[in-house]
Every structure is written in C-alpha cells, then in structure tokens.
Copies of this chain bind each other. A is one copy, B any other.
Amino acid sequence: MTEVDRRVADFESQLKGAGLRMTQQRRLILRVLAEADDHPDAKGIFTRAFALDPTLSLSTVYRTMKVLESQGAIERHAFEDGISRYEHADQEHHDHLIDIDSGEVIEFSSDAIEELQRRIAAELGYDLVRHRLELYGRKKQPARKGGRK
C-alpha cells in the first residue's frame, strides 16, 4: 500500500508540474493500475475502478489513460487483438511473451536482444528510437516416452 501511495504522490507532483489537476478519478485509476499485476485494458480498469466508485465513467478512463501515458506514468501496449492494454511505467524496460493458450502475459528483458536491435537498426542507417517485441509461445511439455502429449 505504501508503494501505491508513493506512486500516487509521484504522479500528483508530475501533474502539478504540467498544470493539471489531481482528481478523485485519477487517484482512483492510478490506484487500480498500481495494484494491478497484469496488463488490463480500458474496460478492465474501468470495471475494477467502478467497483470502488460507481460514478466513474468509461470515457474518463480513456481520457485518464491518455494523460497518464503522456506524462510517462504508464505504458500502453497493443498485442495481437489490437486492444490497448496498460501497465504502470516505473519499472525496468521489458518485452512480453504471450502464452497463446492462456493469454497470460510474461515479462522478460534481454540486454543481448536490445543490443542486437540497436546494431541492426544502425546497419540499416537508423538510430533506434523504440521497438516492439512480442513473443507468442506455448508452454513446453515435459518430455515423455512416445513424444509430446
């Protein structure tokens, strides 16, 4: 909870600096986001927040996500289904591996891959600004006689 409070406070000062307001709704959404350990979409965030304050509207969630994103407080990702999913940004850079069967999202990071990407871009005459890397995989089955299940 202290962790959550710290994030909310951090964000409040960011907003202040940008001449924006810390509203009930932003506080609420930020709390939901900070407590999430998955990658919820707008509707998912709305559902969780709505449970705590049924006056919240979905429009406000979308608007708030934009503000949060432009302040760098969250990151937005769109996996294969094209729907935007969000996660708070105060963590190390990482990419995602998506379990094809369960939809579970697993975070990982690899300096080797980061470096390789930079080098590839450079070889093509580009400075790498950002990238998107998603791996789609299926849980390895334990080896057994007769091969895979």
Residues of A within 8 A of B (CB): 78, 80, 82, 97, 99-100, 106, 108, 110, 112-113, 116-117, 120-122, 124-140
Closest to A123 in B: B108
| CB-based contact B116/A97 at 8 Å | no
Q: Select A124's contact among B108, B112, B128, beta carbons within 8 Å.
A: B108
Chain B: minimal CB distance from A109 (Å): 9
Closest to A132 in B: B134
| CB-based contact B135/A120 at 8 Å | yes
Query: With the chains together, A127 CA to B130 CA distance in Å?
Result: 26
Chain B: minimal CB distance from A67 (Å): 19
Query: With the chains together, A27 CA to B103 CA distance in Å?
Result: 37
Q: Select A138's contact among B82, B113, B129, B140, beta carbons within 8 Å.
A: B129
Offer 6 A-B interface pairs, CB within 8 angstroms, sorted by A.
A97-B120, A97-B124, A116-B116, A126-B140, A131-B134, A132-B136
